[in-house]
Structure 1
Amino acid sequence: MISMPEWREADTEVHPLWRRTFNQDWTGPDVAAPCPVCGNTGLHRWYLLENARPRKYDGIEFAGRGRLWEWCDSCRTFEHYPDGSVPSWWSAPYGPGIPDPGRTPEAIERARVAAHRRGVQGEPEESSRHAE
C-alpha cells in the first residue's frame, strides 16, 4: 500500500503563488497549472454551497455563501476558506452526498478518486500527472 503524505496547509511563503495559480484557472474543479509547492499537476477545488442567495459582485454571478477547499492530490497541500462566495457555474462534479468534509479535503479527495474510478469524469486517474 502506498503511503500518502499528511495534509498540510499552504504556508505564508507559498500563499501568494497559490492564490495566483488558482485564480488564473477559475472554470471548474480541476486546475491545469502545476502545483506551486511540488510542481505536479493535480490541483483541485471544491465548493460547498451553504446559503443559496444568488448575487452579483463585480459582474460575476454567485450562487450564494459557502466554503472552498483547494488542494494538490500529490503533495496534499491545501487551503480551506470557511466563509466565501460560491460561483454560479459551480456544480459538484463527484455527486452530492459528501457529508461535511471538515477542514482538510480528505473526504472530497476520496470522492474525487472514487468518481474517476467509476468513470464519472472521464478516464480513471490512478495517480497524479507529473510535470516533465
Structure 2
Amino acid sequence: MVTAVTEGIKVCVEVTYQAEFSSPHQHHYVFTYKVTIENKSQFTYQLLRRKWEIFDAAENPKIIEGNGVVGQQPILEPGESHTYVSGCNLKSGLGKMKGVFTMEKLFDGKLINVEVPEFQMIANIFHN
C-alpha cells in the first residue's frame, strides 16, 4: 500500500494482480486497485475530477482524465473517507500509475490538486 497526504487529504492505494482474468500468452494483464480518500482536514471537500498517468512497459504512457471516480463525486466531511475499486489492463506484466484528484473546498470554493501516490503493477505470473 502507498500513501500520500495533500492539505489534509490522505490517499491510500492498494493494488492486486488479477491472474484469473489475465491472459499472459495474449499480452493481457488485469490489475485492480483500491483507493481510500480520507479527509483529515477541518474542511469539507468534494472530489470533482481525476487525472491518471498510466505507464506500461509495452506501450507509450497514457493520460486518462474525467469527472469524479467510478461515476461518483463524493463529498467528504472532516473525518470521513471514501473507498472505491477500479481496474487497469496492461499489455505487459509491468507498469505503474500515479495521478491527481481535483477537489473543491466547499467553504470557499478553492480547488486543490491532491496527489495520488505512484503505485506499481507487477504481474505475479510465476506464482502457483
Largest Rg, 1 or 2: 2
Pick the structure with more helix per residue: 1
| Normalised TM-score (structure 2) | 0.28
| Normalised TM-score (structure 1) | 0.28
Pick the structure with more strand per residue: 2
